[in-house]
Amino acid sequence: MARKLLSFLGTNNYVACTYFLASQEVADVRFVQEALVKLHCSDWTPEDQIIIFVTPEADRKNWANNGHIPENNAGLYRCLSALNLPCRIRPVLIPNGKSEDEIWEIFSIVCNELAASDAVTLDITHALRSLPMLAMVVLQYLRVLRNVHLQGIFYGAFEALGSVEEVKKMVAEERRAPIFDLTSFARLADWSIAVDRFLAAGDAGMIHELVRLEAIPFIKAGPTDTKHGHALAVKNLTKRLLDFTKAMATCRGLSISQCATSLNQALDDYRQAALVPPLVPLLEKIRERTADFNGNEIRDGISAARWCFEHNLIQQAYTILQETAVSFFLLKAEGGPNDSHPLDVSKRAMVKGAASLLAQKKESAEGRFPPGHEELWQKIWSIMGKTDENYRKMSFLEQYRNDLNHAGMNQNPKRAEKFDRFLEEAIQWLEGVMKNGI
């Protein structure tokens, strides 16, 4: 992995000033690139590179010496070379970007300068017109293609001092221009993608990776760090997201309600601790998706099946929905509270057995129950037989689930598209049964 500073050189006749970033500063420099190199590249090695993208005009006026006649100013190459750093410093010629073809050419040129796993610091101070956006697109593209890492994005705000003529009239002590660290905006873009990935596919992996990169250092810094509380809230939120998605992916029916409740609490805690306000609305999108989970295990089972269905976890959805339906009908037969899963295996098998026999038009339940459970069997048989839809849906759930679990290795496997259609019907059926009664 190499570290690389990418910067675009402009054509103006720059005025010397002091650039400062937080508590650090670099005095009496014409080029913001020189300030950034002094601030960020002092420990770089021969493997690292400072790459300056120049148009033909920028090359002539500011990369080379004495580009602004009659003034005799040192060009950027001389200024950087004078720092005697071991890393390589080189210009890369780019077109002016005055047409779509030229913009695509710049895209290709920048892409070609970055290799797998490079760590990139980006200076957009003199990246005119579409170049800042283009540079961000390149980085996002290469993060996927080559696992390129963004270290930071910076902008030297010389214009905060006023016009060039006004700055020339200032004494040296007054010429102090801030360097803005814009990295947090790129991180927000990362979070947007990560949250979208979670909402679309139920994948919390990217969120977890962002926390590993961003929150852990602040947690290690201790309570005295201003971002410590925020980092702890983010870490807790990520853990709850992972717990929730793993419970779904592995059909942990007894854990789903608790995981959902903990996740919703973590989302509320983050809202109070957030130091990045724009992130809150993104996380509210997650809260909207988990709002249906209310702590009732049976109702949450249906919500979990729908969540899995919406995130294309079809096999998990069938498993969770069928087992939730079994719990619901067994609780009805036993007359117990409708808020938790009964776990007696033999009793649960009776619900599935009754549905299967009724679907086969068997008229008698005699001898179909385990010893000592005749009364319960009769109640289950009666409840399941009240409407055709109850035992038909239960029987079909069993068939579809078995077909999935055995990978369609049977004489008449169902077509893939049929699973979605019946699953949606089955979820609506069980929702209706719970809402309106059997």
For the segment 213-264, what is each residue's pLDDT rounded down to a tens digit?
A: 766 666 666 666 666 777 777 788 889 999 999 999 999 999 999 999 999 9
Same domain, 399 and 352: yes
Same-domain pairing of 341 and 234: no
The whole-angstrom separation of Cα 341 and Cα 331 is 8
If asked whether residues 334 and 422 sit together in one domain, one would say yes
Query: Are residues 283 and 134 part of one domain?
Result: no
User: 107-116, 124-133, 337-346, 391-400: which has the minimum mean pLDDT?
Assistant: 124-133
Q: In this structure, what are the phi and psi dihedrals at residue 175, rounded to the nearest 5 degrees?
A: -85, 80
Domain boundary at 181, 200, 231, which?
181
Q: Tell me how many domains the chain contains.
A: 3
**pLDDT band for position 372 (cuts 50, 70, 90):** confident
The secondary element (H helix, E strand) that includes residue 19 is: strand 17-21
The answer on 152 and 12 residing in a single domain is: yes
Looking at the domain assignment, is residue 300 inside a domain? no
Check whether residue 207 and residue 166 sit in a common domain.
Answer: no
Q: Decide if pLDDT at 401 tops 90.
A: yes
In a domain, 84, yes or no: yes
In terms of domains, do 233 and 269 share one?
yes
Burial of residue 276 (number of CB atoms within 10 Å: 0-12, 13-18, 19+): middle
In whole angstroms, give the CA distance from residue 288 to residue 179.
38
- Element of type H or E holding 90: strand 88-93
**Which DSSP string corresponds to 180-197?**
EE-HHHHHHHHHHHHHHH
Q: Is residue 301 part of a domain?
A: no
pLDDT score recorded for residue 217? 67
Are residues 232 and 143 both part of a single domain?
no
Find the DSSP H helices in 146-227.
164-168, 183-201, 205-221
| Any domain includes 306 | no
Dig out the tokens for 150 from the structure.
Answer: 């963004």
- Cα distances from 247 to residues 273, 299, 319, in angstroms, run 26, 16, 13
Q: Is 304 inside a domain boundary? A: no
125 and 163: one domain?
A: yes
Say what the pTM is. 0.78
Q: Strands 88-93 and 17-21, how do they pair?
A: unpaired
Supply the range of the domain harboring residue 62.
Answer: 3-181
Q: Are 240 and 283 in contact (CB under 8 A)?
A: no
Q: What is residue 49's three-state secondary structure? A: strand
274: phi then psi, degrees, rounded to nearest 5? -60, 130
- Name which residue leads in pLDDT, 438 or 193: 193
State pLDDT tens for residues 307-337: 999 999 999 999 999 999 999 999 999 987 6
Residue 357 lies in a domain: yes
Q: Do residues 151 and 279 both lie within one domain?
A: no
